[in-house]
Amino acid sequence: MKTNIKIRAVLIASVACSSAAFSQQSMGDWPQHSRERPLPTVVTPGAPALPVPPPADAIVLFDGTSLARWEDGKGGPAKWKLIAGGAMEVAPGTGGIQTRDGYGDAQLHVEWMSPTPAHGKDQDRGNSGVFLMGKFEVQVLDSYHNVTYADGQAASIYGQYPPLVNVSRKPGEWQSYDIVFHRPRFDAAGKLLKPARFTILHNGVLVQDDVEPVGPTANMRRPPYEAGPDRLPIGLQDHEHPVRFRNIWIRDLERK
């Protein structure tokens, strides 16, 4: 009997231990956009291996030839530029673009490039963004030798989670995001049951490890979740910088 209690105690301790060991990346107690917050360690990524071809069950959102799967957010055609070589470029001032279709849980691959030569600094340098469900921004920024606040650099969940490391490539070099996203869940009355979740690889390196946003993205504030549709478009941000994108594909994890 005594032995059983001992075993149980050991089991409980080991469960507590493993849940601590695998606990989620913390948002910490730092104020939003704090410049005192330590910056992620710089890690040089491995040799480029892009583009990554889409698997057979992926929906290709952009193959370099057409913006047909994108719109301007008001139902009109996307106004960004198609660039020779199979890329699109933000047409500054024309507004963000979004997919014509909505998605919930998804695996999303995006390749992007910061403008070269680099202009500006801090947030005013190669800024764009990938918005899951049009609400949760994975920041796109030229974070190569460009200091900004930790929760606003490339591969941050903007205003919430800095990336685990800064694995940015130089302006003019293609970079990749591989994003695994789970949408928030609500009950019938609109009460939040489960927050959204992100796991992200930047240039093949883990930068967000199953993090839970505290709500949709906003600048200088952290608004709460609000119940809404299960599927919403993926957005790309016009932050007035000519950032380029190519080879965007998605695996719809909720497709029946």
Q: Name the residues that contact Mg ion, by CB under 5 A.
A: 127, 129, 237
Minimal CB distance to Mg ion: which residue?
A: 129
| Residue 71 to residues 45, 61, 68, 89, 95, Cα–Cα distance (Å) | 33, 12, 8, 14, 10
Apex CA 206: angle with CA 200 and CA 209, to 5°?
Answer: 65
Closest CA to 125 of 240, 254, 1: 240
- Decide whether 148 or 237 has the Cβ nearer to Mg ion: 237
Name the minimum Å distance from CB 140 to Mg ion. 6
Name the minimum Å distance from CB 131 to Mg ion. 9
Name the minimum Å distance from CB 243 to Mg ion. 9
What is d(CA 116, CA 119) in angstroms, rounded to the nearest whole number?
A: 8
- Decide whether 98 or 252 has the Cβ nearer to Mg ion: 98
Q: How far is CA 25 from the centre of its chain?
A: 15
Name the minimum Å distance from CB 127 to Mg ion. 5
- Decide whether 110 or 252 has the Cβ nearer to Mg ion: 110
Written as six digits, the tokens of 6 are 């001992």
Name the minimum Å distance from CB 123 to Mg ion. 8
- Decide whether 153 or 237 has the Cβ nearer to Mg ion: 237
Name the minimum Å distance from CB 84 to Mg ion. 26
Peptide bond into 115 cis (omega under 30): no
What is d(CA 125, CA 171) in angstroms, rounded to the nearest whole number?
A: 10
- Decide whether 133 or 252 has the Cβ nearer to Mg ion: 133
Looking at the chain, which runs of residues are DSSP E strands? 41-42, 59-62, 70-71, 81-83, 87-89, 97-99, 106-113, 128-132, 136-140, 165-166, 175-182, 185-186, 192-194, 197-202, 205-211, 235-236, 244-252
- Decide whether 160 or 252 has the Cβ nearer to Mg ion: 160
